[in-house]
Structure 1
């Protein structure tokens, strides 16, 4: 009997072993009934058997062995994909789901080889090859969807966490401000509380923007007329108030009027300045340069003196979860993006949302970040380009 026919004829026996193996995948399987453990097993086996009967050429054979076949439909109803979504929701680990397929492969081949019938080596070898290719394709489909589901669940959790933590932090900040007015003798301690709250809010803002982009909603901007020089002065005054002992210098050139999203630029400038404060020498000032001498573009640069960024890190510096220093450097520092590695990523997304660019140069003398923005923002809410890997 051909293997595809054997699968159809022995579905119940194969599926009993599928369920028995799935039940051993603890702790996820402990509270799942037989129907839940069976899940899409019957449909997956039927799809595999049908796939084995379809004609295929050498290119298709190789693509399937690599899990890259174009034959499967892209619909959500493909059994292997539906199975992956269900197993993820049931709490299976990815290794447990892949183990199901390994056990399925072994079960089918063991039962088939033990079935009575005249052996035909060439035909049997072709059947085994086709079966393995079909299983490999099913694994690839399941893995792709499983990983997407896990990532989406994680991103949703992080987004909700970042959003929900803002409320308690706002309450803490409000009570600290009230106590600062009513208990001036405790001003130094209360200032530390407010400073820490501000730093935590910056981290949460970066986290929310990161998860929003990961979930595909893009980074919305609401441009409005803005005087960039006055805006930068106000932003630096806020930062100066919570970074005593550090020097911030502002240089202004040309016409700095335009249309940008003030809230987003506040986030971008803060992240760049905090990054410079973290990695620059404490004895050296952080310089902010605003250059509006060009007609259609404004340059915002932040420069500091410190250890140079390694050249091999520069191409990926604006990617999420990348940090310029080792984990041991200034481990107790808490500035925007420093602990999550999201600060520069958010700067890049803000630049792209405005239709601009961001870049970095670093040598033994200084490190300089340059944010270049069109004078009139060219993007609006809901528009978000697909960013390149490096800026």
Structure 2
């Protein structure tokens, strides 16, 4: 049986092999559906079979072997879309290329019992098949790389937009402070504006530094010391209230929660969770903050009412620099870098804990931070 014919008639067996490898190769075990794991594999195999059955001259084959094959008419080929999708799901280029290496080996291994003659024709079919795989891999890498560039451009655009607003407020306040007729009351209001704008810019810079440090492989620096967990929590509530004056925060907690933590990082984590809750909470409903002890340590939850997050999108909200679509049923401000929740989870993990989220109509959206109690080290 010709290899291209085998691919068409045994595509389900080939896709089963792809599924098995994709499940082992995914950077997000258990989070991707069967459809997401299989992705565009069927279309890519069909395109390879079509290419194998297309007439090709010797000069054309030589040019293709040197990487000068015919250009794909559309940037949205199945292989290119596959690369983009894998980038969205945090695949590295090494993991992406490994999928095609596995696919190549699986097809040839499955075809062997159906190969009638190991002759020149069979060798020619293998060559054409390898050309198709290499072409698909190249298109997939281009899709992955293109999306990397799009993400970087989005990052820079959003950063510029978000910094411009508080910076403009500070500049305007500076111009107004130069007016000799300014009243004491006006000066106080302008001082509050400058303080609030500076605080917003400081939050952004801290998140950017934390994200950059984590991406460089060093993780987010942690410097634990004896502290009361409620101190950074109260500071974060105060700053979140200043950032969102219309929001109301209710804290339910004991008098003290002593432990061994990085106070500055906990403040950053709590602030990101509180600002997120205020931004997405229902108008008129308070953000409820609860803190207390458990057998394994301390637990802090932040709950807001509002439109619930579908279960399928609960992990997406922790991914940085990802544009959530209408399919995710999650509304992020168009200028959001999506760093806040990512940074918050990394800080919790750096303390040996973690963050979980639940969301439904009756209970609202609740982020629960679990932190081990290391007071004994104080």
TM-score range, shorter chain: 0.5 to 0.7
What's the offset of the Cα at 1:238?
Answer: 1.9
Q: Identify the residue that residue 127 of structure 2 maps to in structure 1.
A: 131
Q: In 2 relative to 1, CA 201–326 (structure 1 residues): closer, same or farther, beyond 3 Å?
A: farther
1:362 matches 2:363: no
What's the offset of the Cα at 1:277?
Answer: 0.8
What's the offset of the Cα at 1:196?
Answer: 4.4
1:303 matches 2:303: yes
What's the offset of the Cα at 1:272?
Answer: 0.9
Contact 2:236/2:268 (<8 A) preserved: no
Pick the aligned partner of 1:64 from 93, 99, 104. Answer: 104
Moved more, 222-231 or 264-273: 222-231
Q: Identify the residue that residue 221 of structure 2 maps to in structure 1.
A: 220
Q: Identify the residue that residue 36 of structure 2 maps to in structure 1.
A: none
What's the offset of the Cα at 1:313?
Answer: 2.6
Describe the superposition over 1:224-257 as per-residue Cα deviations: whole angstroms up to 9, x where unpaired: 2222112222222222223223222222226411
Describe the superposition over 1:154-193 as per-residue Cα deviations: whole angstroms up to 9, x where unpaired: 7888889999999999987887887797755255466446
What's the offset of the Cα at 1:279?
Answer: 1.5
Q: Identify the residue that residue 351 of structure 1 maps to in structure 2.
A: 348
Contact 1:159/1:211 (<8 A) preserved: no
What is the CA–CA distance in structure 2 between the aligned matches of 1:242 and 1:227, rounded to whole Å? 24
Alignment of 1:107-186 (within 5 A): 123-139=119-135, 142=138, 184=184, 185=186
What's the offset of the Cα at 1:356?
Answer: 0.4
Contact 2:345/2:354 (<8 A) preserved: yes
In terms of Rg, which structure is larger? 1
Residue segments in structure 1 that go unaligned for 5+ positions in a row: 1-9, 26-59, 70-120, 378-391
Residue segments in structure 2 that go unaligned for 5+ positions in a row: 1-57, 74-99, 110-116
What is the CA–CA distance in structure 2 between the aligned matches of 1:199 and 1:327, rounded to whole Å? 27
1:312 matches 2:312: yes
Alignment of 1:1-391 (within 5 A): 14=62, 63-64=103-104, 123-139=119-135, 142=138, 184=184, 185=186, 188=189, 191-192=192-193, 194-253=195-254, 255-291=256-292, 293-294=293-294, 296-320=296-320, 321=322, 339-363=336-360, 364-376=362-374
What's the offset of the Cα at 1:145?
Answer: 6.2
What is the CA–CA distance in structure 2 between the aligned matches of 1:170 and 1:61, rounded to whole Å? 49
What is the CA–CA distance in structure 2 between the aligned matches of 1:230 and 1:217, rounded to whole Å? 27
Q: Identify the residue that residue 99 of structure 1 maps to in structure 2.
A: none
Classify the secondary structure of the residue corresponding to 1:312. helix
Moved more, 227-236 or 249-258: 249-258
Q: In 2 relative to 1, CA 136–246 (structure 1 residues): closer, same or farther, beyond 3 Å?
A: same
What is the CA–CA distance in structure 2 between the aligned matches of 1:68 and 1:224, rounded to whole Å? 58
Classify the secondary structure of the residue corresponding to 1:253. coil
